[in-house]
Every structure is written in structure tokens, then in C-alpha cells.
Amino acid sequence: MQESAFLLGQVFNGVSVASLFVLAALGLALSFGLMRVINMAHGEMLMLGGYLAYMTLAVVPGPLGLLVALPVAFLGAALLGAVLEFTIIHRLSARPLDTLLATWGVSLILQQAARNLFGAIGVQVIAPGWLDHTVAISSGVLGGLTLPDTRIFILLVAAIVLGAIALLLNRTRLGLYVRAVNQDRPVAAAMGVNARLVDLLVFSLGTGVAGLAGVILALLGPVTPTVGQSYIVPAFLVVILGGLGSLVGTTIASLIVGLFTALIEIFVDVSLAQVLLLVFVIVFIQFRPQGVITVRTRALEG
């Protein structure tokens, strides 16, 4: 294989991993911007999405099962997210660190529930036939480059979701409310924005998107009770790098984390790559402690 093709293949891998990260981190970042809380059970929304995809494909076999699974996973995860927000997160939102611990408790319970329902080994979702190809370039400078259809599909889903959320945030009344609460909650509330409802909607939207990411994860490997855990720590780092509740920041940060991981893995093994990613994040915040996109605000304590 030619070197340029290999390098481009890694870049492509990095971008497709990044698109998973962005789907996983989007909900975290949006809710963090609004409520300053992080949902540690967010990884389990990915897991839930994966299991919902598995169950949907058992009910609706055939080529279109996957297209049914996407909305099912979105709605299922969004519903669970709404319940979680209503029962726990909203009650604790004045104490962000305690929310972290309480939602970690939720995450433990959800993992154990999955273990009891589906077994610890995990279930396999088989990609439908129309995703079973690879785009291979056999000649030219990029000879030997192969792009699996599943990875291209991931990119597409991420792009569509990002576009839809960008439209929602920038072109709708709800988006206006979200941005208003993000900038100044008391003033927005004083102007008649139902901040409570905005919190709830954004939170469940975010968990729904994580559910979508779970479907995609299921195409890449087995769905296990701890599948979310392996993606959630990089997603947290994306939130830190991205800046407060910024869509653009989150996307850029996902690309940074995805590409960094994919490219560094050319030289070192996976575990060392994880260490270097953390070192990179710590070095990065030395220069930009507020993330890639800084939301300008007059508040002293953000």
C-alpha cells in the first residue's frame, strides 16, 4: 500500500471516529452550556441506542431495518433522557458536582440492567446488505485506499444531524430560546422564556442524538453493557476542548480528538495513544483554557 493512501486512510478513520464523538458529545455540550451539568449516564444512552437497534432489527429484518432503527433509538433515548432530566438532573442542577455522582449511579444501574437483560457478552447487529461494500481505489496515487460503506454512512448521519441541529438552533424559535438561556438564564426567564422547558427539551434532544450514535456503534462492533464507557471519556474531553455549549466548538474539538487519536495510533499503540491524548488536552488548555470557541459573556463565574 502506498504511504499517501495509508495516511489518507487514517485521516478518513479519524474523521469517522470524530463523527461518532460529535454525536456522543453534542448532547453533553448543549446541556452543559445550559445547565452546567454533565450527565455521566450519557454513555448508556449510546448503549441503549445500540440495544434498541438490535431489537428493532429483530422485529423488522431486511434492508430497511436500519432506517427504522434510527428513529426508534432516537425516540427511546430521548424519552429516557427526559425522564432522567425530570427526576434527577433538574433536582440537582444547582450542585453540578453532585449531579455528576448521581448520574454515575444511574449509569451503573443501566449497565447492570443491560447485563441482566441481554447478558454480559453483548449482542451483534449485522449491517444490512446495502452497507456491506467498500469503496476501493485500486490505482493512481491513492491506490489501495479502502473506504468501508459503514464508515461513509456514519459520516453522512453525523453531517445530517449536525445540519439539523444547526438549523434548529439558528433558524427556529426554540433555537432562539436555547441561545438566550445559554447566554443569560435569569434575563431570558424574565423575558418570558420557559427556561425549565428549554432545559428539558435540549437534554432529551441530546440523549436522543446519543441514541443515534448508539445505532452507528452497533454497526461497528458488538453492543455490550459497557459499550458506552469506551466512547464517553473521549466525549468528555471533546466537551472540555469545545467550549461552553458551542456547536461549532464541539464539532472542531471532535475532529481534533478523532484525528489526533487516529494519527497518533500510526506510531504508538492504543493505550499509549490514550495517554498522549490526555497530555495533549492538558497542554491545549494551557493555551486556550476556555476551549476552541469562547462564548463571550460578562459573567465572572461561568
Partner 1 sequence: MKISSRQILPAMVLLFGACAPLLINAYELSLLGRFLALSILAMGIMLIWGEGGILSLGQGVFFGLGAYALALHLKLEGLNIANGDMPDFMVWSGVSALPAFWYPFASPWFSLACIVLIPGSVAAAFSWLVFRRRIGGVYFALITQALALAFSTLLISQQAYTGGFNGLTDYSTFDGYDITSNFAARVIYWITFVLVTICYFALRWLLATRWGIMLRATRDGENRVRFLGHNPLPYKVGAFTIAGVLAGIGGALFTLHAGVVSPALVGVVPSIEMVVWVALGGRNVLWGAIAGTLLVNFAKDQISSALPSLWLYGLGALFILAVSFLPAGIAGLFRPGSPEERVVRRMLTRRKLETAE
Give the bridge partners for 148, in sequence order. Answer: 134
* Residue 147 DSSP label: E
Range 38-67, binding partner 1 (CB under 8 A): 38
Nearer to partner 1, 10 or 93 (CB): 93
Give the residue carrying C-alpha cell 432506517. Answer: 67
Closest distance of CB 291 from partner 1, Å: 9
Task: Answer yes or no whether residue 24 interacts with partner 1 by CB under 8 A.
Answer: no
Closest distance of CB 191 from partner 1, Å: 27
Interface residue with partner 1, options 10, 93, 183, 229 (CB under 8 A): 229
Q: How many residues bind partner 1 (CB under 8 A)?
A: 46
Nearer to partner 1, 136 or 285 (CB): 285
Q: Of 58-66, 69-77, 177-185, 233-241, which segment contacts partner 1 by CB under 8 A?
A: 233-241
Grid coordinates given for 20: 461518532
CB atoms near residue 135 (< 10 Å)? 11
How many angstroms separate the CA atoms of 26 and 224, rounded?
Answer: 22
Interface residue with partner 1, options 19, 31, 56, 111 (CB under 8 A): 111
Task: Answer yes or no whether residue 259 interacts with partner 1 by CB under 8 A.
Answer: no
Amino acid identity at 68: V
Nearer to partner 1, 37 or 147 (CB): 37
How many angstroms separate the CA atoms of 174 and 193, rounded?
Answer: 10
Interface residue with partner 1, options 58, 83, 109, 197 (CB under 8 A): 109
Nearer to partner 1, 2 or 297 (CB): 297
**Mask: binding to partner 1, 262-301, rule CB under 8 A, as x and -?**
-------xxxx-xx-xx--xx--xx--x----------xx
233 sits in which H/E element: helix 227-242
Nearer to partner 1, 1 or 285 (CB): 285
Q: What is the 3-state secondary structure (H, E, C) of 157-218?
A: HHHHHHHHHHHHHHHCHHHHHHHHHHHCHHHHHHCCCCHHHHHHHHHHHHHHHHHHHHHHHH
Closest distance of CB 261 from partner 1, Å: 12
CB atoms near residue 22 (< 10 Å)? 28
CB atoms near residue 23 (< 10 Å)? 29
Q: Are 77 and 216 in contact, with CB atoms under 8 Å apart?
A: no
Give the residue carrying C-alpha cell 461497528. Answer: 220
Binding site for partner 1 (CB under 8 A): 32, 36-38, 88, 91-92, 95-102, 104-109, 111-112, 115-116, 229, 233, 236-237, 239-240, 269-272, 274-275, 277-278, 281-282, 285-286, 289, 300-301
